[in-house]
């Protein structure tokens, strides 16, 4: 039986284990599977777990568990590390390497493939996509994003209703979402908005520097009309006159976060109102209670497809999700070259989505699903409230 090594890398999602389970179910009967612990760090150090029956069953049992059950982590891949990865794969006799991850993963896979080729080692390489930021190129969207988007949309609506009931006491909440370089997640915050009292009343994303006067104007209008304002910002947002706000630098990678705190201070000073920031936090990528059913299914299917393509001998590719058909949502799964994915770089929101959020929400609908809450207007009898 051909031996296949599979691992998970980068920040986990609520459905990354579904992709792993899909792959394992597809392959377990006619391949020998070896699991890589802790992503590239584990691979560079030769940390493998043999895929015996108990291990295979355990992995499949994890299909609905958030987080990466094999261990993941962020690990900078030096040239020496890549050489080590290849050495360890060769030692165990792996004929294929499959990693579930995002942009960094696909770049690393490409380097490992190239390094193996140079060394005359015939290694089949396939990347399986995942990201909550949705910034992965070469695919319409990536598994994990829709569940995170669903969390953000639900939290924004719910926290907005909470704020609306407290508006005599507290006027502004600033919700900070994940999204280092792309605003897909922050922009999803308005997906459930049906009434103008509901937030977000202002969305700031990394694609567009945030202007202080635009922020103030939006809040001013919302407070005058509704008594409160909900603001949503991506962690990677820059002020038009400044840089991204870094909390700290770990392993050479800046941990972003803090822009919402800066906005809180700015608003309190400028508007003399009660404002509070809040990071939506790790639940965005790990909440089991808000997993999108279609996201789960697609994640699983991505794993199954990766397995099938290993069997077909495909290599140097990532499993890519594409929309097909002008009406409705039809999923096509196609291979896309790792080279193409890497060259595409971090995928930002296109202008036509940023400038017309309704178009974006139509695009989002089949991914998030229709099985979400619908609330009545936050305001009874608008005629009474209009007098204020």
Q: What is the set of active-site residues? A: 133
Contacting residues toward a copy of itself, per CB under 8 A = 8, 11-12, 14, 38-39, 41-42, 49, 54-55, 58-59, 61-62, 64-75, 154-155, 158-159, 161-170, 173, 250-251, 255, 274, 276, 278-283, 285-290, 373, 375-378, 380-381, 384
Between the CA atoms of 143, 145, 148 and 149, what dihedral angle is there, to the nearest 10 degrees? -140
Going by the DSSP 8-state scheme, the letter that residue 66 receives in this structure is S
Cα(24)–Cα(278) distance, rounded to whole angstroms? 38
Shortest separation between residue 235's beta carbon and a copy of itself, angstroms? 13
Query: What are the two backbone dihedrals, phi and then psi, of residue 291, each rounded to the nearest 5 degrees?
Result: -60, 135
Which CB atom, from 63 or from 124, has the smaller least distance to a copy of itself?
63
Which CB atom, from 71 or from 137, has the smaller least distance to a copy of itself?
71
Which CB atom, from 155 or from 321, has the smaller least distance to a copy of itself?
155
Q: What angle, 0 to 180 degrees and rounded to 10, lies between the N-to-C axes of helices 16-27 and 293-312?
A: 40
H helical segments located in the chain: 16-27, 39-44, 53-61, 79-91, 103-118, 145-165, 184-187, 212-226, 259-271, 283-286, 293-312, 338-344, 351-354, 357-368, 382-386
Cα(259)–Cα(352) distance, rounded to whole angstroms? 25
**Residues of the chain by 3-state class (helix, strand, coil), percent to 5:** 45, 20, 35
Which CB atom, from 159 or from 354, has the smaller least distance to a copy of itself?
159
Shortest separation between residue 106's beta carbon and a copy of itself, angstroms? 19
Query: What are the two backbone dihedrals, phi and then psi, of residue 78, each rounded to the nearest 5 degrees?
Result: -75, 170
Which CB atom, from 117 or from 273, has the smaller least distance to a copy of itself?
273
Shortest separation between residue 130's beta carbon and a copy of itself, angstroms? 12
Q: How far is residue 44 from each of residues 41, 55, 68, 268, measured CA to CA in Å?
A: 5, 22, 18, 49
**Under 8 Å between Cβ of 168 and 227:** yes
Shortest separation between residue 11's beta carbon and a copy of itself, angstroms? 7
Shortest separation between residue 158's beta carbon and a copy of itself, angstroms? 4
Q: How far is residue 180 from each of residues 108, 112, 184, measured CA to CA in Å?
A: 20, 26, 10
Strand-pairing partners, residue 93, are none
Which CB atom, from 132 or from 333, has the smaller least distance to a copy of itself?
132
Shortest separation between residue 128's beta carbon and a copy of itself, angstroms? 16
């Amino acid at each position: 039986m051909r031996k296949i090594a599979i691992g998970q890398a980068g920040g986990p999602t609520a459905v990354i284990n579904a992709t792993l389970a899909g792959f394992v179910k597809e392959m377990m009967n006619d391949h020998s599977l070896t699991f890589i612990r802790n992503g590239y760090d584990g691979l560079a150090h030769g940390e493998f777990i043999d895929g015996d029956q108990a291990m295979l069953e355990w992995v499949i049992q994890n299909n609905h568990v958030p987080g990466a059950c094999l261990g993941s982590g962020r690990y900078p891949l030096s040239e020496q590390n890549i050489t080590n990865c290849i050495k360890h794969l060769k030692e165990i006799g792996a004929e294929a390497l499959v990693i579930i991850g995002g942009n960094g993963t696909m770049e690393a896979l490409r380097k490992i493939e190239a390094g193996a080729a140079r060394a005359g080692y015939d290694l089949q390489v396939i990347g399986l996509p995942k990201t909550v930021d949705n910034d992965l190129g070469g695919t319409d969207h990536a598994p994990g994003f829709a569940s995170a988007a669903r969390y953000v949309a639900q939290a924004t609506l719910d926290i907005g209703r909470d704020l609306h009931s407290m508006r005599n006491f507290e006027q502004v909440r600033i919700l900070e979402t994940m999204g280092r370089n792309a605003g897909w997640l922050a922009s999803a915050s308005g997906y459930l908005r049906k009434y103008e009292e509901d937030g977000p009343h202002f969305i700031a994303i990394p694609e567009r520097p945030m202007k202080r006067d635009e922020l103030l104007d939006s809040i001013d209008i919302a407070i005058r009309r509704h008594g409160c304002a909900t603001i949503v910002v991506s962690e990677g947002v820059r002020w038009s006159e400044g840089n991204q706000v870094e909390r700290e630098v770990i392993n050479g990678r800046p941990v972003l976060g803090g822009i919402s705190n800066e906005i809180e201070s700015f608003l309190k000073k400028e508007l003399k109102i009660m404002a509070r920031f809040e990071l939506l936090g790790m639940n965005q990528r790990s909440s089991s209670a808000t997993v999108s059913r279609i996201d789960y299914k697609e994640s699983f299917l991505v794993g199954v497809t990766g397995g099938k393509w290993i069997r077909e001998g495909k290599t140097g590719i990532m499993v890519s999700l594409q929309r097909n058909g002008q009406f409705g949502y039809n999923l096509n799964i196609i291979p896309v070259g790792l080279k193409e994915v890497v060259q595409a770089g971090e995928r930002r929101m296109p202008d036509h989505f940023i400038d017309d959020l309704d178009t974006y929400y139509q695009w989002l609908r089949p991914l998030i699903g229709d099985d979400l809450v619908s609330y009545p207007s936050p305001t009874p009898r608008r005629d009474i409230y209009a007098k204020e």
